[in-house]
Amino acid sequence: MNHCELEEVTHHINNKISMIKRLLELRAVAKDPDKRRTLLKIEQEVAAINELLDRFERYVGQQRDLLKHLKDLEGFFQEDEQDAHHLKNNTPPHMPKRGQQAAPQGGGQVAVQSRQTDAPPAPQEQGPPRKHQRNQIKEMEFITVPEFDSIPPYMKGRVTYDQLNAAVQSINTAVTSKYKILHQSVKTLNNVSRTLHQRFKDQETKDTKGQFFIVELDIREFTQLKVDKRFVGMLNMLRHCQRLKEVRGGGLTRFILL
């Protein structure tokens, strides 16, 4: 046995001897009634402290679980915040902003209104209010994401969801501009609008009675949308989604809103 091991054994034996002496002293003290009451009081205080420590330990455990729960909630909130920022930065162009109405694309409608600045306002007794007339004009509903996904790839080509709904908005602009003129009394129109009014009437047939429709010339007149092969493809997509149908006759193709 080396020197270090001998010191450890000696220290251990000395601790045992000191503990035995302390126990003997306490045994002697316990025989004294006054000191015994003091020891019992100390025992009660130690028991109360142990109970308090147990309560603190349970409370710390509860707070630890609550902290874990709050961290999980923080993660969920961060995901929701990221989703909200993504939605804010990727809002489809055809959707109106809060507190605003969807602005029509193209300048055709503005041009027609500017042509009518010299026309007197329509008397109230000659027709329903303009607000009521606007409510009567039918508009095409925007394409939903599931509807867009249902379109065959060969039909979609490279057209995106936003581009297709931009075409929907342009068609709605043309329909609204056309039927605003049709809903006015001919007497209130200037020469340019009166010519358009007559053209619209001449394009109507028994198949379009009670329907809202436009032709390619209306799209050129009231929007900035190019009527090309790509636009024809988008019309096919809209027919697939049951937003419009075609009626041909008299050298014209009429696009009727469904």
Token pair of 226 as six digits: 């190019």
CA angle 208, 190, 131 (to 5 degrees): 60
Virtual CA dihedral for 206, 104, 225, 218, nearest 10 degrees? Answer: 30
Q: How far apart are the first and last CA of the chain?
A: 104
Q: How far apart are CA 173 and CA 167, in angstroms?
A: 10
Q: Which amino acid is at 111?
A: A
Kindly tell me if the per-residue pLDDT of 147 is higher than 80: yes
Q: How far apart are CA 36 and CA 149, in angstroms?
A: 88
Q: pLDDT digits over 72-96, tens only?
A: 888 888 888 888 877 777 776 666 5
Q: Please, how many CA atoms are within 13 Å of residue 26, restricted to the half-sphere of its CB?
A: 9
Average pLDDT over the chain reads 80
Report the share of the chain in percent with pLDDT over 90: 37
Q: pLDDT digits over 101-137, tens only?
A: 444 444 444 344 434 444 444 444 444 444 444 447 8
CA angle 115, 120, 122 (to 5 degrees): 110
Token pair of 196 as six digits: 């358009």
